[in-house]
Each structure stands twice: as structure tokens, then as C-alpha cells.
Chain A
Amino acid sequence: MTGQMFSRPLIGSMLAMTLGLGTGCSHWIELAAPTDTTPPANATVATDARVPLLLETIRVTHNGSAIAPPTILERQVLGAIEATRLFSQHYQSGHAQPAASQARVTVRLSIDNIVEPHAGQAAWRGLLVGASMFTLAPFIPLNYDYGAQMSLEMERWDGQTKHYSATSNGSAHYYLFGANPEVIEQLKGQVTEACLSSLLDQVIQDSTFFLAGNTQPQDRPIRTVSVTVRRPSSRAVPVSRSLPDSSPR
């Protein structure tokens, strides 16, 4: 009997602590529903009609201030374009260039990032959590908002240009013990990926604009390739979900 009376509060306390620690260490990311309504696009193009692409500039601003584009972002952009298979080769300004006489598409990308870390809110909520000796840690979430607006200018070899733009927003929500730089990096990565996908969907819809004339010899069969936008495994969804793992991928 005595054992039962001791064990019930003990079990209850352990359950409460486990639940509290589990909740207090959790975090999740929400991506807002995309504002544009461009449907996922795909097309089939003649392999030999594709031309090289030159990524000329990436301009990045962070809350309105210009910053140097991170190398990882340049790789992410070039990788996303490459994954569409709309272009035959991919070059980046400052590295190997296509031949001057060769038809090419020149790309200029502008990315405006809006970061709202809710610093005041985090400070006050943190103070409250601390004042409660951390007992409120599983009940008071902290927030971090991130948005990206991208403008893409694509210039064809004959000087004709097309402009595309896309916007994506997301929020990371976390409890004090679940805070981790990786959570913020994941949020930024997912928002950027969603914005890039939206942008490239628009490009794919204009895929014929970026193809050279039919250069296929008559005696050879026409080879084609399917072009589409690579969908990230962590696709942007307008509902909240917990991230199972915060370790870097």
C-alpha cells in the first residue's frame, strides 16, 4: 500500500518531466502557402536544341541591406537550375565560360530576404521562462520568421529577356530547449527552395523560349529530355509539422 502511494506520484512526476522535456525540446517549421498560383510544370524538349546557361549575377539583400551571396546559396541556385535539365551546360560568372560565339542564356537573380527574429518577444518570453525556473519552457514557444522574394532575369542570346518573380515565407517555432542554429538554417533552406521551385516552374512553362532553333540533322532521330523542377523532399506545405531530425543533411 505504502509502495503504491509512493509509486503513483513518482510515476506521475516522471511522466510529467518526460512530457515537459519532450515538449520543451521540440521545434517545427511552417511554410506559408505560395502566393502565386503557378502549377508544377514539365515539358519535353529536344536535347540538341538546348543551349548553355550562364549564371551572371546573384544579388542578395538582407532586410534591405546588400550582402555578399553565400557560396552555398550560389550552389543551391545553380543546382536547382541544373536539375531542370532545360540547359545543356551550366556556367557561373567568374569560373569557366561558354565560348563567346556560342548561343547562351544569361541569368541574373535578385534575392531579397526578410528576416524577423521577434527579438523583443524572445527576450520577454525568455525572461518569463527564466523567472519561472524554466517550468514554463514547454509552454512558451519562440518564433522566427523568414521570407524570400526572388526576381529572375533571363536574357537570351539574341538579347530578348524575360522576367520572373516569386515569393515564399515561413516561420520556425521552437521552445527554449529546442533552439538550435540548425532549425533556422532549415527554415531558410526550405523557404529558399520553395521560392526557387516556384520561380523555375515559371521558367519551365516558357521552355521553348530558351531553346535554339532546330539544329538536328535530318538523318538522325530527335532525342528529347524531360524538363521539370526538382521537388525538394521537404516540400513546402502550408501546414505545421514537426521536424523529425535537426541534424545537418
Chain B
Amino acid sequence: MPFLALVLTALALGSLMMATGAYAADRSPMITVGTQEVGLTAGYMLPHRLTQDHTTKQQGPALMPSWMMTVTDPVGDGWYRGQVSIGAEMVYIQFREPFLTHGVGFTPKIKYTFVGWDRIRPYTEFAGGPFWTDLAGKIPEESSRFNFVLTAGFGVSYFLTDRAALNIGYRFHHISNAGTRYPNLGLNASLPFGGFSFFF
């Protein structure tokens, strides 16, 4: 856990540094078309063995720097009022179990952010893309090192200032090779995460 502790400490310190101007600029964040978001997210992967054939308890910390572009102004009325962002994310996972191995991926990402609650903004997100890991081949579920990762999840952003937000959330994480080699049972996991974003 030292890696995760280090990352979470860095996130916390970063958030505290951002929070110094939080109350000086006490106005609602204005995220409009063309606003870019750069973020850093960290989490810990916890395994789900969905069938009896799944035996691997893969787990470890994950780090996900991301970039997003807001492509709509807030649309809709009521609780679902929100806006769409498109972007991409790098994902690095250090598998601590069952073997110390690594995984790196690149995932285009789409996010819908609900904007009806001022500084607190829930969101849902979906991402998918290629993923390389040397864990495959050492476990019964996956045979090829080249895989794909699909994630879907939700989270909440709290805007510390009108340009910086703290995020926490949950993702369901799936890794498989799309049937390019067998066996291909896939690896499934929960990924609770935390991080922060800057908007410009």
C-alpha cells in the first residue's frame, strides 16, 4: 500500500493547495463549450470473480491521468440538467496480486456531468480502449498481453474553486482481449477512486 498512500497523500496536498483560494472566488463554476479539464485520479482495484472459472484475485493501485473537452453547454431542465465531455485517459495499474505485474492502457472517454447542484456535480462516465499487461499468460483467465479495458462508473465532483474540483467515485473495470486469443474469460474488478481536476 505505500504507493497508494503516496498517491493519495499527493492528491490530498494538491487539493489543499487548491483550496486556498476556494472562498475568495465564491461563485458558481461556469463550465462552457470548449472548457478543457485535466485531471489525475488514483484508486485501488478489487477483484470480482463472476463465475466459478474465475480464480484470480487480481488487485493493486491504479493511476489515471486524463484530459477532457466539454462539448455542450448545460442542456435539459430539472435534476438531469447537465453537459457532455469527451476526452481520453491513460490508465496504469500495478497488479500486486497474484503476481507483481503491470498494465498500461489508453481509453477514450465520455462523461455526462449533472450541473443542477452548484458546486457539487455528480457524473457518470464510460471509457474503453487498448490495454497491455504482463499479467496475462500467468493466469488462467487471460492468455494474451494485448487486451482491451472497458470501464463504466459514476462519481461526484466538488468544486473547491470555479476552476478546480475534487472527485471521488466508483468504476466497474473489465479487461479482456475481445476474443483475439483463448482463453479469454476476462478480469473484472471494482475500482473506487479519488482525484482532482483543473478546468481551463
Contacts and interface: CB of A to CB of B under 8 A. Distances in A.
A195 B84 CA distance: 31
A176 B108 contact: no
Nearest to B33: A184
Contacts of A127: 86, 110
Classify the secondary structure of B's interface with A: strand
Contact of B33 (A123, A125, A179): A179
A129 B86 contact: yes
Contacts of A96: none
Residue among B72, B75, B86, B87 with most chain A CB within 10 A: B86
A179 B72 CA distance: 10
A138 interface: no
A126 B84 contact: yes
A134 B108 contact: yes
Classify the secondary structure of A's interface with B: helix
Interface residues of A, number: 25
Contact of B32 (A125, A130, A184): A184
A122 B33 CA distance: 10
Contact of B71 (A122, A133, A134, A183): A122
A181 B86 contact: no
Nearest to B109: A130
A129 B109 CA distance: 10
A240 interface: no
Interface of A: 115, 117-119, 122-123, 125-127, 129-131, 133-134, 142, 144, 174, 176-177, 179-184
Interface of B: 32-35, 69-73, 75, 83-84, 86-88, 106, 108-110, 129
22 contacts: A117-B73, A119-B72, A119-B83, A119-B84, A122-B33, A122-B72, A123-B84, A126-B71, A126-B86, A127-B86, A129-B108, A130-B88, A130-B108, A133-B108, A133-B129, A142-B71, A176-B69, A179-B33, A179-B70, A181-B32, A181-B34, A184-B32
